[in-house]
Amino acid sequence: MATELTPHAAMSLTEQLPVLQVLVPFMAAPLIVFLGSRGLAWILAFGTSAAAFVIAALLLGQVLDGSVISYHIGGWAPPLGIEYRIDAANAFVLLLVSGISAIVLPYARESVASEIPRRHHTLFYACYMLCLTGLLGVVATGDAFNVFVFLEISSLSTYVLIAQGSHRDKRALTAAYDYLIMGTIGATFFVIGLGMLYMATGTLNMADLADRIADQGANRTVVAAFGFIIVGMGLKAALYPLHLWLPNAYTYAPSVVTSFLAATATKVAIYVLLRFMFSVFQPTFLFEGNTLEFLIIPLAVLAMFAASVIAIFQTDMKRLLAYSSIAQIGYMLLGIGMLSQTGLTAAIVHLFNHGITKAALFMGVGALVFRAGGSFFDRIQGMGKTMPWTSAAIVLGGLSLIGVPGTAGFVSKWYLVQGALEKGWWPVAVLIVASSLLAVIYVWHIVETLYLKTPAKDIAVGEVPNSMLIPIWIMALACIYFGLATDITLGAAQAAAKGLLAGSSGMLH
C-alpha cells in the first residue's frame, strides 16, 4: 500500500531521477539542433533514450513495492509548486515509453536514411526527442496543467514527425493535418476540463484536486470537467469512434515514427485516462457515474469487433495493423471499464504487452518497406522467402497479437477474460475470445501473404541490415519472454492497479 512517501530532500543524483527522466531528452532536442551534425544527432538521440530507459528502470525499482516518490521542482512545495509524482502505474509506463524509444532508435538509423531526405535528419531527431520528452513528461508529472503542456509538446512534434512521411507519400500531409485538427480539439477539450476543475477547486495539483473534489462532492462543474477530459483524452487514445485520425497517421508516417507512436502515444493517453479517472476523480465517482458502463464498455466492445473486421479486409499491412491497434485499445478500455483489480491489471498489462507487440510488428513492416518500397500486400507478398528473419519476427509478433499461449498477448487476454468472469459477464468473456478469432484471421492474412505467395519481380532481394534486424528481434523475443516470465509485468501492473483503485489515498502527500 502507498503508505511511505519520500519527501523532497534531493541531494544525490538518485533523488533527482524523476526530473532527469524528462529533462535529459528535453535538453537533447535543442542540443541536436545546435550541433547540427547528422551523425551526432543519432548518437545523441540514442544515448538519451538509453539513459531515459535506465532512469525509468531505476524509478520502477524504487516504487514497485507500492511506495510513491514525490519530487518538487525547484524546491517549491505543492500545491503551489509543480510536483513530479512517481508510483508503480506511471513508472511502468515510463519504462515502456523509454524502452521502446531505446530499441526503435538503432533501427531508425537505416530506416530514416531510406525514407527521409538527408537534410531533414537532424531536425527529425530533434523532433523525435521532443516527442519523447512530451510523452515522458505527461506520464511523470503530478500536476494537471503540466500534463497539458507536455501533451502539447508531444502532439506538436508528432504532427511534424508524421508529416515527414510526405517524402514517400504525399498523403502523409493530409494525415498530419487531420491529426493536427483532431489532436488540437482533443487537447482543447482537455484544457477546458482542467479549467473547469480549476474553477471548482482552485488548484491544479492532482493530489490536491483529488482531495478537494472528494470534499465538495460531484457538482455540475466537476461532472462537466470529467466529460470534457474523458472525451479529450479518449480522442488521443483513439477511443472508437474517435479513432478516425489514427489509420492515416499510422499508415503514412515514416516506419520509425509509426513504430514508436503505435507502441507509446496511445498508451500514454490511456495512462492519463487512468490517472484522471481513478486518482483525480475517485473510483467511487466512477461507480456512481454510468460513463464506464454505458459508454466506455460498449464502445470498447464495438472497437474490438468493428476495427478487427476492417483490419481483415485491408490490403495494406500498415493500415491493417493500425486498425488492429484500435481494436486492441478496445481491450484496454474494457479492462478499465470493469473497475476491478483484475480488470485494471489486465488493462495495464495489455498496455505494455500490446506496446511491445505492435512495436515488433510495425518495425517488421518497416523492414519490409525498406526492401519492397511499400506496405501493400502485392508489394510485400512472398517476402517470407527473401526476408526469412524479418518475416519470422512478424509471425511471432502476430502470434502475440492473437494472444496465443506462451506469448505476451495471451497473458493480458487471460486476465481480461478472468476479469470478465469475476464480474459474471459471460457474454463479454465470449466476445473477447470471439474477437481474438478475428485477429487470427487478419494475422493469417499476413502470414499467407508473406509465405504462400510468390514475390513481386522488381523487389530488391535480401534481408535488412542487422542494425534493423536486431531491434526487431529484441521486440519479437520480448513478446515471447513476457509471455513466459510474467513477474515483472504482472507485478508492476498489479501494484499499479492496486494504487489506482485506492483512489486519492493512493496519492498520499
Q: Which is nearer to other proteins, 80 or 452 (CB)?
A: 452
- Report the nearest approach of other proteins to the CB of residue 162 (Å): 14
* Options 112-120, 136-144, 272-280, 310-318: segment touching other proteins (CB under 8 A): 310-318
Order of strands across the sheet with 83-86? 5-6, 68-72, 83-86
Strands 83-86 and 5-6: unpaired
What is 217-232 written as a DSSP string?
---HHHHHHHHHHHHH
CA distance readout (Å), 469 to 202, 357, 363, 473: 52, 15, 9, 6
Question: Pick from 178, 176, 156, 147: which is nearest to 164 by CA?
Answer: 176
In three state form, how does the secondary structure of 172-205 look?
A: HHHHHHHHHHHHHHHHHHHHHHHHHHHHHHCCCE
Binding of other proteins by 122 (CB under 8 A): no
Q: Other CB atoms closer than 10 Å to residue 422's CB: what's the count? A: 14
What's the rounded Cα separation, in Å, for the pair 285 and 278? 9
From 320, 292, 309, select the one nearest 230 (Cα to Cα). Answer: 292
Q: Give the containing element (helix H, strand E) for 68.
A: strand 68-72
Q: Using the minimum distance from each CB to other proteins, give the nearer residue, 34 or 287.
A: 287
Determine, following the binding rule CB under 8 A, whether residue 418 of this chain makes contact with other proteins: yes
SS3 315: coil
486 near other proteins, judged by CB under 8 A: yes
Chain residues 165-184 in contact with other proteins, contact rule CB under 8 A:
174, 177-178, 181-182
Give the range of 13-21, 61-69, 148-156, 237-245 binding other proteins by CB under 8 A: 237-245
Q: Which of 295, 304, 380, 493 binds other proteins (CB under 8 A)?
A: 295
* Contact positions with other proteins (CB under 8 A) in 349-408: 405
Q: Is 5 helix (H, G, I), strand (E, B) or coil?
A: strand
Question: Which one of the spans 66-74, 79-87, 90-98, 314-322 is the region binding other proteins (CB under 8 A)?
Answer: 314-322
Q: How far is the CB of 102 from other proteins (least distance, A)?
A: 29
Q: Does 451 bind other proteins (CB under 8 A)?
A: no
Task: Report the site for other proteins in 208-227 (rule: CB under 8 A).
Answer: 218, 220, 223-224, 226-227
User: Residue 497: how many CB atoms within 10 A of its CB?
Assistant: 27
Identified binder of other proteins from the candidate list 51, 113, 244, 488, rule CB under 8 A: 244
| Residue nearer to other proteins on the CB measure, 31 or 185 | 185
Among 170, 421, 461, 466, binds other proteins (CB under 8 A): 421
Verify binding: residue 284, other proteins, rule CB under 8 A: no
Q: Give the shortest CB-186-to-other proteins separation in angstroms.
A: 8
**From candidates 14, 37, 284, 315, binder to other proteins by CB under 8 A:** 315
Cβ proximity of 391 and 383 under 8 Å: yes
Residue 76 engages other proteins in binding (rule: CB under 8 A): no
Cβ-Cβ contacts under 8 Å for 241 (sequence gap 6 or more): 299, 302
Q: Does 323 participate in binding other proteins (rule CB under 8 A)? A: yes
| Other Cβ atoms closer than 10 A to 458 | 8
Write down the least CB distance from residue 266 to other proteins, Å: 16
CA gap 473, 467 in Å, rounded: 11
Scanning residues 188 to 207, which ones bind other proteins (CB under 8 A)?
189
Closest distance to other proteins from the beta carbon of 67 (Å): 25
Q: Please provide the distance, in angstroms rounded to a whole number, between the alpha carbons at the two ends of the chain.
A: 14
What span, in angstroms and rounded, lies between the C-alpha atoms of 273 and 233? 6
Least distance to other proteins, CB of residue 115, Å: 21
Give min distance, CB of 294 to other proteins, in A. Answer: 6
Binding site for other proteins (CB under 8 A): 174, 177-178, 181-182, 185-186, 189, 218, 220, 223-224, 226-228, 230-231, 234-235, 241-242, 244-245, 247-248, 288-291, 294-295, 306, 309-310, 312-316, 319, 323, 405, 414, 417-418, 421-422, 426, 429-430, 433, 436-437, 440, 486
